[in-house]
Amino acid sequence: MTLLLHLADFNERRWAAGFAAALPGHRVVTRADQYDPDEIDYIFIWKPKPDAFAGLKNLKAILSLGAGVDALLRNPSRPVDVPIVRFMDEDLQQRMSDYVVAQVTMHQRLITRFRRDQQARRWSQLYPAPAWDASVGIMGLGQLGLDAIKHLKVFGYKLRGWSRSAKQIEGVEVFTGTEQFEAFLNGTDILVNLLPLTPETQGILNYETFARLRRGGLDGEGPVIVNAGRGGHQKEADIVRALEDGTLKAASLDVFEVEPLPQQSPLWAMDNVYITPHIAAASSERTGVAYFSKVIRDHAAGQPLPNVIDFGRGY
């Protein structure tokens, strides 16, 4: 068995050393090594180049470092009949929930308002309403969305969820499909996006969506959006417009249409925007190596692959 690493923005050598230690007796190579493409059984990949799969005729599985696979699905050299396994473990879920809880709590506590007061050296006492007065809407009820809901429940937020398929979640008002999307938005103060990126969800964070969110919530300091999904979900020109005219009061953005976020983007200078550089949830070498080494060992032993992408659904 030979594993090829194709990792943009990561130290391939360090990951390769980890896999070599976890998979004794198997060959682990990087793009800089000499190898026969015919010998590659698995490719562990992140941000693939257009020719990432060229010559890899004997692949058994594509292993994605991230939970999002839209870039893989668009790759022109990808063999369409090879299954894609996305990364999803407790460590990744916890990291994403950490981010969501931090951003939701920050907005519920009106940090934008108090940050402006601080900059103006203005002592203006406003006591934020408790968490149970804030309505948090989660778009995307997969493993990441469900874990975020589990953590937010602890704080007492009013929780709403929206997904493509019908679900029942204790303590959560769930909405399904396009026909219930507006009703979902109408009662939401803080909109959290954890959707997969598909043709149906491309650009879903747009001005029309923002205009349907609940008015007057969060002591008049809402509505707010939190995007930890994909940059393709958002229309940044619409976000800027909505923040400038008050349709949105604030935004937390971890992903962008173009990454790194261009220096000329007006988002950088807006005091009601909180920017993080696509770091909400990423696997560590320790957990990533452990997870995919087990996937490879189990698959070699005849067990099915976990977390395989449904090509029909796009995630």
d(CA 306, CA 315): 13
SS (H, E, C) 40-64: CCEEEEECCCCCCCCCCCCCCEEEE
Euclidean distance between CA atoms 276 and 122, whole angstroms: 27
**278 in catalytic set:** yes
Within 10 A of 102 (CB to CB), how many other CB atoms are there?
15
CB 82 within 8 A of CB 48: no
Answer whether 249's CB lies under 8 Å from 115's CB: no
> If you search the block for the tokens 């870039």, which residue do you land on?
71
Rounded Cα–Cα distance for residues 214 and 177 (Å): 19
Catalytic-labelled residue, pool 78, 212, 278, 299:
278
Mark whether 115 is an active-site residue: no
| Cβ-count burial 16-33 (b if 16+ within 10 Å, e if not) | bebbeebbeebbbbbeee
Q: Are 296 and 23 in contact (CB under 8 A)?
A: yes
Residue from 86, 107, 160, 230 carrying the catalytic annotation? 230
Q: How many CA atoms lie within 13 A of 239 on its CB side?
A: 30
- In one letter, which amino acid is 186? N
Positions annotated as catalytic residues are 230, 278
